[in-house]
Structure formats: C-alpha cells, structure tokens
Structure 1
Amino acid sequence: MSGSQGTATVGESIGDSVGSTIDYLKPIVGLVVVWEVIATFELVPSQSLPHTYVVAETLVDLVSTGSLLELAALTAGRAFLAFLIAIVIGVALGLAMAQSTVVGWFFDPIISLGFPIPKVTLVPVYVLWFGFGNVPAVALAVTSAVFPIVIATYDGARGIKRELVWSARSMGVSRVGVAREVVLPAALPSIFNGVQIALFLSFVVVVVAEMVTAGGGLGQMLTESVRFFQTATTIAAVITVAVIGLVSDRLFRLLRGRLLRWTDDA
C-alpha cells in the first residue's frame, strides 16, 4: 500500500508541475497568436513586425552559426559577475551599517543620495574612467545592483530582535560572530528580496551598457540590428535576453525556496 501511495503522490506532484507550467505558458502562447494575427493581416508593416516564423528562422540561424550563443554567454557572464560582486559588497556593507553606528552614519547619506539616481546616466563617466569592454559594463551593473542589496540587508539586520544579539554577546560571541551566526541568518529573507531585484538590475544595466558603449554582447547586437533595420534580429536578441532573465529568475526562486525552507518567505 505504501508503495502505491508513494507512486500516486509522485504522479500527483508531476501532474501539478505540468499543469502549472501549462498555465504559465498560456499568456505567452496568447501573445504569439496575437502577434501572428497582426503580422498576417499587416496591421503593422512587416518590416516593423515580421511573422513569428521569420523570427524563429532568424533565431535558428543565429544559434546554428554560434554567434548568438557567444554573445549571450558574454552578456550573461558580465551580468553574473556583477551580480556576485554586488552580493558580496552589498551584504557586507549592509551588515556593517546595521552593526556599527559609525559605518551607518558614514554610508547612510551616500546610499540615500545614490539610490534614486538612474545608474545608466553614469555610463559616460565610467567610460572615461575604465574605457570600453568588460570593466565599465560590469562596474556599472555592480553600482546598480549593490543598492537594493545594501538596503535589504540593512533593513533585515535592523529588524531582528535585539534580545538575540544581547544574548549572543553575553555568551562571549564576538561582534563578527554575532553578525555571522545571528544577524545574517535572521536577515536572510530580507536579503533575498534585495538580491532578487539586483539580479534583474544586473542584466538590464549590462545590456544597456553594451548598447551605449558598443562593448559586444547582446546589447551591441541590439544596437547594430536596429541601425540596419534588421527587425527579426532585434526581436531575436530581445527574446534571448528575456529567456536568460526568465531562466535566471526561476533558478533563483528554486534556490531561495531551498535555503529558506525554515521561514514563511520560502
């Protein structure tokens, strides 16, 4: 009986997963249908909105030649590198601001002043400082992604019960130990909220930086295809960015669910 029940449970889980995936894809399928109807009846000039099969053929050609995968790998590599650097800096700085009055006093006005600024406006400055290529794109993405992580970490660390910190300190735990063993685990749900926003910002800013600085990657592909009015290639690049973002978000949600199983925010 137990084996039958286990098999039934697994079957139900798979069925639920498939059903959830189908429901998730319905709006996308609907969008494709509307797109094809518009292209078929030429409600929009074909040069501006080609048929879906034309874009699909362009995607296949770009993948088969390897150019799309190479550009996507370059963009994704820059974005993930910036994302990881932002996590390290953002979490460390947020915890330090929450634990130290001096650090909080110094960085709080900087964070408050810098957070609202659209980071893409810094592209000319970063090009002057770092030139072209990987460095300005990664640096700009780090600058954009680090702010939500710092703020989320600070809010999460400041929101924990003071009794937990006092108890740990009374037991002889050092300030660094308290931050690592008490504050960081308690602040994780809030930190993950900031990290999720940072993941999105990393990709967006890297692509924008590539478009402006002609630094290769999908951003430069977008710029060049628009310049020569290669609409199918432009849409193929946008779809590629969207797919990378979607896969990254799904993987992040899976990781978050596993790491935060002990909380209500998993």
Structure 2
Amino acid sequence: MTSRALSTDVLLGLLPIALLIALWQGLVSFELAPVALLPPPGLVFSRLLQQLVTFSFQQEIIATLFRLFTGFLIAVALGVGVGMVAAASPAINATVRPLVRVLAPLPKVALYPALLLLLGFGHESKIALVAADALFPILLSTYYGASTVEQKLIWSAMAAGTPRREILLKVVLPAAMPSILTGCRIGLVISCIVVFLAEMITSTDGLGHVLITAARTFQAVDMFVPLITISLLGLILNALLQAARSYLLRGFPEA
C-alpha cells in the first residue's frame, strides 16, 4: 500500500469520528440534550487529558489492559491450538463440534456469576470471562482456515520430505494465518467490550469501575472519560494488530 493510499484511508477513517463529534457538539449547542447528561465534547476531552497524566487513572488503565491482554492471549492459545487439532483430526473434530455449537451462541456474561463464585472478585474471574468470550471467534476462524488449506500444499510438503508431524506447524498454520488473524481481530474487539462490562458489574479498579463510580455520583463528564479511553485503547490495539497482520502476511497477495 502506497503512502498516498494510506493517507486517504486514514482520512476516510477519521471522517465518521469527526462527524460524530460534530453531531455531539450540535446536540449540546442547540440544547437538544441536557448538559447534565451530555456535556460538551471539549469539556470531556479536556478532562480526559487531565486524567491521562494522573497516576491513579494510569493505574486504572493498567488494570484493564492486564485483564484484557491476559484473557485475550489465553483465548488465542486455546483457540488456535484446538482449531488446528480439530481440523487435522476427525475424531477430535467430532468431539469439539457439538461443544462449540452449544457454547458459541451462549452469552458468556451469563456465566459471570458462576465465575465469581469459583474464582472470586479479583482478576481471575474477569480474565476467564474475557477468554471465554474471545475464544470462539478465534477457534472457528482457525478451524475454517486450517480446513480450507489446499491439499496440494500438503502433498508438496510431503513430497519434499517434511515429516507428517511437522506439516501442521510448517504448512497448515502459515496457510491458515489470514483466517486466524481475522478471528484474532474479532476476538480483540470482544475482549475490549467484555473486560469493560465485567469491571462495571463487579470491580474495585479498572475503567469500567471508574465509569460506575462517576455514574453513582452523577459526574457526567467523568462518565464519558473511561468510555472514550476504552474506545481509544481499542483503536490503538486494532491498529497494532493490523500492523502485525501486514508484517506476518507480507508474502500474501491480499496483505
């Protein structure tokens, strides 16, 4: 992708965000929404900049990122591992498929009370919820990518003397990487949503806890600060994952 095309994509991506902020400002300026509930964007972003340089708010961000990354990495490890093995083994596929069909549509937040009883109110229950929610998009994308690898690639590797036990890692995994990374991007978005939700339900720290604390004291400006922060974190993490995707798939035509 050329620098000119990249700049065009960035501008097109920023346009809807600018329009959203303009709509927000318009609602406030024309008094279509009460300022007590919808403060001006300038006031919110000013408060955000003030909070970002404080140690306490940085600690809240670190707590959220720790839960997010830990749960997401667990989901990646399990999703890629199970998906690859299920694609390679009909027996394991027959075992895993019914579980996926039953558990994938289930709202994982419904399991959160049970996770709280089992793992407590600390990091563990929130990490488990993030991992459970992000697991299935990654697992299904991995399984689909590994199942659709062209057979001639496997035959060529076998003809070149590649041991059968190494074909999964040296042939199937690289060929399935575009699909795996797509599942990871979906899983990352889900992780951002779920960790924030879990912190809102029960937590003593994290961005979700900041929002609930502000809501309980009717601090509308402070309510918007964690919302914008988690949105910016998601935007940054998605951009980093896209950069990693472009690097890992630099040999693929679509990358």
Which TM bucket (shorter chain)?
over 0.9
Aligned to 1:8: none
Q: How far 1:167 moved relative to its partner?
A: 4.5
1:104 to 68, 72, 93: 93
1:1-266 superposed matches below 5 A:
16-169=5-158, 173-266=162-255
The one-letter amino acid of 1:42's match is: E
Question: How many corresponding residue pairs?
Answer: 254
My pick for the range that moved more, 133-142 or 73-82, is: 73-82
Structure 1 unmatched runs, 5+: 1-12
Whole-Å Cα distance in 2 between the matches of residues 15 and 264 of structure 1? 19
Greater mean deviation of Cα atoms: 64-73 or 98-107: 64-73
Q: CA deviation at 1:18?
A: 4.2
Q: Which runs of 5+ in 2 are unaligned?
A: none
Pairwise CA RMSD of aligned residues? 1.8
TM-score, L = length of structure 2: 0.92
TM-score of the superposed pair, with normalisation by structure 1? 0.89
Q: Is the 8 A contact 1:79 1:202 kept in 2?
A: yes
Q: Give every structure 1 segment of 4 or more consecutive aligned residues whose post-TM-superposition deviation is greater than 6 Å.
A: none
SS at match of 1:151: helix
Residue-by-residue CA offset, 1:54-97 (whole Å, 9 max, x unaligned): 21232133223222222112111211111111111111110110
Distance in structure 2 (CA, Å) of the matches to 1:241 and 1:99: 38
Counterpart AA for 1:105: A
Amino acid at match of 1:55: V
Contact 1:134 1:215 in 2 (8 A): no
Distance 1:138 1:238 in 2: 20
Structure 1 residue 230: deviation in Å?
1.2
Query: The residue matched to 1:147 in structure 2 has which SS?
Result: helix
Structure number with greater Rg is 1
Identity over aligned pairs, percent: 35
